[in-house]
Amino acid sequence: MIDLEPFWLTAKLACCTTLCLFIIAIPLAAWLSRRSGLFRTVIEVLVSMPLVLPPSVIGFYLLVVFSPGGAIGAFIEQWVGLRFVFSFEGLLLASMIYSLPFMVHPIQAGLSSLPPTLQEAAWSLGKTRWQTLVQVLLPNIRHQLLTAVVLTLAHTVGEFGVVLMIGGNIAGKTRTASIAIYDEVEAPNYHNANIYALILVCLSFLILFILYWSNRKRGHYPMW
């Protein structure tokens, strides 16, 4: 009987990462969709960097920054009571950085696809920027929001390099499903590895199926 703990941990990590990123990404994507200039380009590059950086690079630098032996890691542990290295909180932080572009980009693209007159019309009716975003813009990019959520979920489920670097391989704490597969292959216990891998394939298929099925008849801005 295989240990299902890695799947529960993976599900918890994916859900927490997606929820946290959803909250952060919306104002960030809204800002990126309406700004221009050097500063905005720099931020856009930083958001996109996890797409091209090897996950082990992100994991390595997080390890260096948050190590309890370093100034920042020691400060956080002493004053906030959190240790980011070899802990679930560290996994969460690493996942949020690594999956950030998967949440931001679809939302930013969705907001950019809406005609500017839509928000101008809301402003002319006395609505604040926040009211306009929540009541007018976001409801009209529902499918891009769903795409962002599903891609972030799926991407987090599949994380390996960054999770291994910052989380280690601690059973019940940081051993996610992808690390459990690696563990079983190293054992070698291909039977268990196969079961873990098959479950992940099915899970990934299900997640992407939900996305594509819900977007099957949709275009972009519904008025076009």
Partner 1 sequence: MNLRADMTLTAGELVSLYGHSGAGKTSILRMLAGLMKPDGGYIKVNGVRWYDAAERLHLPAQKRRIGVVFQDYALFPNMTVRGNISYGIRQREDNYLTDELLDLTGMSRFAGSPVQSLSGGQQQRVALARAIASRPSLLLLDEPLSAIDNALRLQLQETLYHVHRRFQLTTILISHDIDEIVRLADRVLHLDNGMIEAHPNPGIFFYRDGSGLTGRVVHIDEQQIATVLLRERIIKINAAGSGIAAGEQAAIFYDGAAPFIRKL
Distance, CA of 59 to CA of 66 (rounded, Å): 11
Contact flag: residue 36 with partner 1 (CB under 8 A) = no
Select the residue interacting with partner 1 from 126, 188, 216, 217 (CB under 8 A).
126
Of 71 and 223, CB closest to partner 1: 223
Select the residue interacting with partner 1 from 122, 149, 151, 200 (CB under 8 A).
122
Contact flag: residue 121 with partner 1 (CB under 8 A) = yes
Task: Tally DSSP H helices, then E strands, for the chain.
Answer: 11, 0
Minimum separation from the CB atom of position 128 to partner 1 (A): 6
Contact flag: residue 136 with partner 1 (CB under 8 A) = yes
Minimum separation from the CB atom of position 31 to partner 1 (A): 17
Q: How many CA atoms lie within 13 A of 32 on its CB side?
A: 24
Alpha carbon of 105 to those of 72, 119, 144, 161, 211: distances in Å?
30, 20, 9, 22, 16
- Which residues inside 155-184 make contact with partner 1, applying CB under 8 A? none
Contact flag: residue 31 with partner 1 (CB under 8 A) = no
Of 91 and 137, CB closest to partner 1: 137
In eight-state DSSP terms, residue 11 is H
Minimum separation from the CB atom of position 94 to partner 1 (A): 36
Of 20 and 109, CB closest to partner 1: 109
Asked if 172 and 5 count as a contact pair (C-beta separation under 8 A), the reply is: yes
The secondary element (H helix, E strand) that includes residue 110 is helix 88-113
What's the burial of 130, exposed, middle or buried (CB within 10 Å: 0-12/13-18/19+)? Answer: exposed
Q: CB within 8 A of 189, min separation 6: which ones?
A: none
Kindly determine how many residues on this chain lie close enough to bind partner 1 according to the rule CB under 8 A: 19
Looking at this protein, which amino acid is placed at residue 104? V
Contact flag: residue 219 with partner 1 (CB under 8 A) = no
Of 69 and 126, CB closest to partner 1: 126
Distance, CA of 147 to CA of 103 (rounded, Å): 8
Select the residue interacting with partner 1 from 120, 186, 201, 219 (CB under 8 A).
120
Which residues of this chain interact with partner 1, rule CB under 8 A?
115, 117-118, 120-128, 135-136, 139-140, 221-223
